[in-house]
Structure formats: C-alpha cells, structure tokens
Structure 1
C-alpha cells in the first residue's frame, strides 16, 4: 500500500502555524499569483505569466530588426529559453557587457543598450495595472497580516515586478518597508534591511527581481538605484532576472534581498509559504535549500497550482514541477503540496481523508474536495496551490481567531 497524507491533519497544522503571533512567518509571491485575480474572460489575466508576457513582448517588438536578430542568435544558444522574457533580457545584458567598442552577434553596444531599455519599457507598460476591486487575493493576504498584533514582522518576498502588493497594502492601510527610504528620490537603505531597524508591525516587502518603479539613474560619475511613486516613461526601469552577473550599480538591492531571504529561513522555527512559484530559478532554489540545510527548525511549504503530473505536447503524463519534487524528496523541511499529492517529510503520497469521520473540522473541511470520476477511484484534493483558494483559507483563520 502506498503512502498517503491526511489532509485534515496537515491543514490543522498549517492553520496552527499561521495563527501564531510570535513566530517568523513569510510568503513568497511569484508569477502565478496575479493569475488568481478573477476578471471577465476578455480581460483575464490582469497580468500574464512569464510565457504570456514573453508572447506579448515578442508581438510588440516583431517589427524591430534588432530584436529579431537577437531572437535568431538566442535560438543558437540552446541552454537559454526563448519563451522566457527574463532569459531574453539576461541574454541582452550579457551581450552588452562584452560589446564595448565593437559588435557581438550582429549587434553593437548602442543597439543592445536600447534593446534592454525598450524591453523593460514594454514590460512596465503591460504590468502597470490596478487591482480591479478591494476583495482580491492580495487584499485577503493583507487582511490576514493585519488581523493580529504580531511580535515578529511578516515578510513578503516576490519575484514580480508589478505593484499589486503595494496597492493592496496601501488600500488596507498596512504600513510596510521595502528597503527604500526618503520621499523625493527614495534610496535603498542597506543598514535598515540587514539590522532590521524598522518597527515590527511594519510588513516587510522584498522585491527580489526589482520593480517597475525602481530606476537606475546617473548621479555624477556614479549610478544609483532609486524608487519613485510614479511609473516613468523612457526611464531605465530596474527589472532583472537573478541569473545575470550584474555590474556594481545593480548588485546592491538584488544581493541584499537574496541575503534577506536566506536570513529569514535561518530564523528559528521560521515558516515560508511559496505561492505561484514553479522552482525555475536556480539561484533562488539554491538559496532556499542551503538555508533549510543550515536550519532544521525552519519549514518551507510550496503550494503548487494543479496536479502532480500534467500532459505534455505528446499527451504523455510528466511531472508538473520536477525541480521542486527533486528538492523535496531530499530535504525533510521542504514540503510540496499539489492538488492531488504531496511530498511531506520527503515522502510522496496522495491526499486521503477518512470521510466517515463523524466530527470533521467545519472550517477546514471546505478545503478538502472529493473528486469522483466514472470508472476511476475517488480522489481527495487540496487546492491551496490556487492563490485565491489559499487566501480564503487565511480569511477563515481570521474568523476562527476572532471567534476563539
């Protein structure tokens, strides 16, 4: 008989962990989360995933000869994905760094600089959007953060460049710190980040891959990173994927925030919940894994969208998140939950609930779905990998806490 996991038991544990007011609790909000915001079909998604964003950029720049040259050269480099705009942007920057005074792969320094700027401008235009209401998954997350007076600040890490988290935090009047201080040309305060000098009731918001309102600006002989309250046109938006070796002017925010992710996981009994993350960023994966190995009291929970296996282009069933599974099978304090299966304590098993239980927890039973299909055994599903469903789970915790 194969291993199985009792969904009610693990949901109770998760609820208990999230109800603590003195433990280090964090969330990692990644590219899949904006897809959870409901909109009428012609307008969904509010912000596309990486593949959708890449298609948009390719369509917008298809008439640009330099961009077409770039894609042709990219096709020759098989290790780089042409369907991932972050990898395309990395390729542009890596070519730019070696193009000084000459030409590389048919593009000169000026053309590569303009390509980078144009790509970032198009990304900023596409994802500069407003949350459609005040009842979105982002708002529910913020309401949960604000539900109890915490002794340890909640930390939100994100690889997204958009401003959806800022909008939700501000609309719910949640004070937060993102590493920048000042009002005219906000600058990055490394000491405040590393020494945790901000009040504990302020949520920490760490934008690991930059933001559409961060800019790289010349100040005399130096370049500095600033944050603005507005999205500027024709500016050097600071958007960067993690696998690029940055020049000095770009390193400081990125390296400081990656270090902050490691520091958070190394805190005693820390809990980090990953939402909308596909484990496709090797540097972030290494950071998480190394911190977990260094701190056996920490727990990282990956809530994955969809089922354990999915069909590929040939209609064959393959692992949906192979990198996540490989890591979780070898690291006891990295757990992965998909809709139909989970890897918990390195053990893979399907969700299995005893439906004959006479007294199920009324607040949790709603999060266990029974899937019945003709000629197939019934399955139990836990769909917290849907960011919307997970934030409803958080909403239930608020109600339970207030009722207690």
Structure 2
C-alpha cells in the first residue's frame, strides 16, 4: 500500500467514452457493431446466427422505449433475463402446467430459448473481437487521423501522473472498460515520454502470454500508471483446472472458451468477490478516501457497484470529494440524480457530493484542446 505521503491528489476513472477516440464503438454506437454489415466485415466480426438479428432489434427498440442505453451490457442483461425465465418455466411445476402444457407451447419456448442462447454467443464474440483489436497499432498508418490524438491521450495521462508526484510519477486508473487501450497506448508511447512511464496492471509484462495475475506486481512497482480493471477484460480468462487468472495475448483469444472469459458479463461473473476484481474495488475505496480530485472521463454514473464505493468513501471523508466529470452531455443535475438513485440501493452510510463539488466539462474527450481544458479545471479545483 502507498504511504500517506505518496497517496495521489488525483484519481482517474475511465468509462466507455474514454475509449471512443480510438475508434471503439461504445455507448450508443454499440448497435452498429451488431447490425452494420459494413462494420462487421471491416472488423471481421463474423456472421450472426440467422435467427438472432430480429430478436436483437426487438431488444434495441425496447431499450429505446424505456430510455436505457443501447450498450452491450443492457442487451446481455435482457437476454440473461430470458434465459432465467426459461429455466424457471422448466423446473417449476406450477408455471410449467400453466404455460407449457402443450407440446406446441413447449416447442415454441424451447426454440426461443435457443435463439436467446445464439444471441448471447453472437454478442459475446462481437464484444471480444472488437475490444481486443489494437487500435493504436492500426493507426500507425500515415494517413490515419487517430494516431496523434492517441499520442495526446497518453501525454495527458503522463501529465496527471507527474501532477501527483513530480519525482516519481504515479497515477491510479480505474476502469469498467473491457478493451486494452491503455496497455496499447503505453506500449506505443510510454518509452517516448520523459520520464518514461510504465504501466502496472497486475501481470508481469502487462500483456505477456499466460501471465498470472498477482497483486504484488503493484506493490513492487510503486511508480507509473497503476491500472485496476473493475469489470474484467476481454483478454482475461480463468484457468478452470488451476483456478488462477491468466491473461492471453490477442492472437490466442479466439482459441479459448468464451465460458472462461473473466468479465462481469457475459463471462465468469461468479469471480466478483475474489481477486483481481476485489483488489481493484479495495484500491478504489482506498484512493477515494484519500485523494482530493476524482476525475471521471466518459463514465455514465450508472454502475451501482462503483457508485456505492464513491458515496461510502465520501461519507467517511473529513473534506468532501471533488468530482470532475468529462462528458459531452452530463450535467451537475444528471450526476446528482444518478448518485441519489444509486444511494437508495445500498444499506451503507453514504454522502452525495453537493453541486458545488461537482465540476462538469462538456467536451468530447480526446478532441481539440481537451488536455488544456481539463487541466485548467483541475488546477482551479485543487486551489479550492
């Protein structure tokens, strides 16, 4: 654990919007990965099952009606509910006698259940293949407009690390994203920065094949960017025989069973209470208790597991936490409403940040002079 003299002033949290500059289809753009033949062909995402598309279109329409984001997790949660319903109907005598009395009814529901299973498979394959793509490496082409902005992204993270500690740059980064953008940015630009900045993600070599996750990687390397993945990653797989966490390189990802994928959903979400998920949440709590500023970039404030820790940590602090929120659309009012809603769903003592402690920056992250704009707000906030 970092001593109290080295605990950072600034903690960074990256949501889906923080990866969009690299070309990942996040948030509202996710349906394009499913329904656009052009994109699926470009990214070699494979063919959908013939029965899947209509069901997924229906779910998309349903999400629009109830004003929910059309993100992959909301698609998958809906499909998961249908799977649970089928399981209950099959094992519950009362429900089975009322709704599955005839062979025709049973066959129709069984067919629907198979369609749901196919849809889950299609979405999972799409998610893994899309988020495992190395967008940084692909942007090295001279005519690609994304390369320079991604270089600026890494420089911004380096400046935050230096702001925390000029002698030993250090930046704790928490994310619910599944992609490997930060690993790729560090591999491409980390050695160019002065001083050079390393990434620590719990695996020796960061993206080494078959590297076992170990929290001592963080303790042994107190400097650099410390990345904590709260919801897993497309390159994390459980070794069912050893019960250890392994991280495989992208080339090997298609060879491993999707059932062993270690992500909150659709992977092995049963691992939530164990490392590395639990370690990441413990570190998030530790940092939010001690930092001055929590910088949220592209985060929707919809993940209750994250919000509960934020609200609980804020309740324990002597001075309230300062939130800086970078998002094109979010306002103080929206953030407060979502924090309030999340606070109602926990039994732990919470304290919601007041409006004066929430600083929303309505810009597109990674575009134009984003670094200067955000840095100015950080400076003003730290001066208090």
Q: Name the TM-score class by shorter chain.
A: 0.5 to 0.7
Q: Is the 8 A contact 1:103 1:109 kept in 2?
A: no
Separation of aligned partners in 1, 2:57 and 2:273 = 25
Separation of aligned partners in 2, 1:223 and 1:57 = 33
Match of 1:211 in 2: 233
From 88, 97, 105, the counterpart of 2:75:
88
Following TM superposition, by how much is the alpha carbon of 1:326 offset from its aligned partner in structure 2, in angstroms? 4.9
TM-score (norm: length of structure 2): 0.64
Partner SS state of residue 169, structure 1 = helix
Separation of aligned partners in 2, 1:251 and 1:110 = 32
Q: 1:98 to 1:249 in 2, by over 3 A?
A: farther
Separation of aligned partners in 1, 2:310 and 2:160 = 23
Separation of aligned partners in 2, 1:391 and 1:118 = 37
Separation of aligned partners in 2, 1:156 and 1:89 = 26
From 167, 175, 194, the counterpart of 1:158:
175
Partner SS state of residue 157, structure 1 = strand
Separation of aligned partners in 1, 2:370 and 2:86 = 47
Separation of aligned partners in 2, 1:57 and 1:278 = 22
Match of 2:278 in 1: 255
For each residue in 1:277-327, what CA deviation from the matched residue of structure 2 results, as whole angstroms up to 9, or x when unmatched? 121222221221111111233624232323667xxxxxxxx9655635758
Match of 1:121 in 2: 125
Separation of aligned partners in 1, 2:356 and 2:307 = 11
Match of 1:41 in 2: none
Separation of aligned partners in 2, 1:97 and 1:234 = 28
Separation of aligned partners in 2, 1:187 and 1:107 = 40
Match of 2:190 in 1: 172
Following TM superposition, by how much is the alpha carbon of 1:143 offset from its aligned partner in structure 2, in angstroms? 3.0
Match of 2:43 in 1: none
From 361, 371, 379, the counterpart of 1:391:
371
Following TM superposition, by how much is the alpha carbon of 1:178 offset from its aligned partner in structure 2, in angstroms? 1.2
**Structural RMSD (CA):** 4.3
Partner SS state of residue 228, structure 2 = strand
Partner SS state of residue 156, structure 1 = strand
Q: Is the 8 A contact 1:155 1:204 kept in 2?
A: yes
For each residue in 1:377-402, what CA deviation from the matched residue of structure 2 results, as whole angstroms up to 9, or x when unmatched? xxxxxx567454442357789xxxxx
TM-score (norm: length of structure 1): 0.61
Partner SS state of residue 197, structure 1 = helix
Name the stretch that deviates more: 175-184 or 290-299: 175-184
Following TM superposition, by how much is the alpha carbon of 1:275 offset from its aligned partner in structure 2, in angstroms? 1.0
Match of 1:186 in 2: 211
Q: 1:66 to 1:394 in 2, by over 3 A?
A: closer
Q: Is the 8 A contact 2:285 2:310 kept in 1?
A: yes
Q: Is the 8 A contact 2:52 2:115 kept in 1?
A: yes
Partner SS state of residue 47, structure 1 = coil
Q: Is the 8 A contact 2:328 2:364 kept in 1?
A: yes
Partner SS state of residue 280, structure 1 = coil
Following TM superposition, by how much is the alpha carbon of 1:135 offset from its aligned partner in structure 2, in angstroms? 4.6
Separation of aligned partners in 2, 1:337 and 1:125 = 35
Q: 1:48 to 1:150 in 2, by over 3 A?
A: farther
Separation of aligned partners in 2, 1:142 and 1:34 = 13
Separation of aligned partners in 1, 2:294 and 2:161 = 18
Q: Is the 8 A contact 1:299 1:334 kept in 2?
A: no
Match of 1:130 in 2: 135
* 1:35-50 equivalence runs, <5 A: 35-36=20-21, 46-50=23-27
Separation of aligned partners in 1, 2:294 and 2:269 = 27
From 288, 312, 327, the counterpart of 1:290:
312
From 235, 239, 243, the counterpart of 2:263:
239
Gaps of 5+ in 2: 41-46, 92-108, 140-146, 192-196, 344-350, 378-384
* 1:348-359 equivalence runs, <5 A: none
Hey, which of these two has a bigger chunk of strand by percent?
Answer: 1
* Counterpart check, 1:336 vs 2:358: yes
Q: Is the 8 A contact 1:139 1:168 kept in 2?
A: yes
Separation of aligned partners in 2, 1:308 and 1:142 = 22
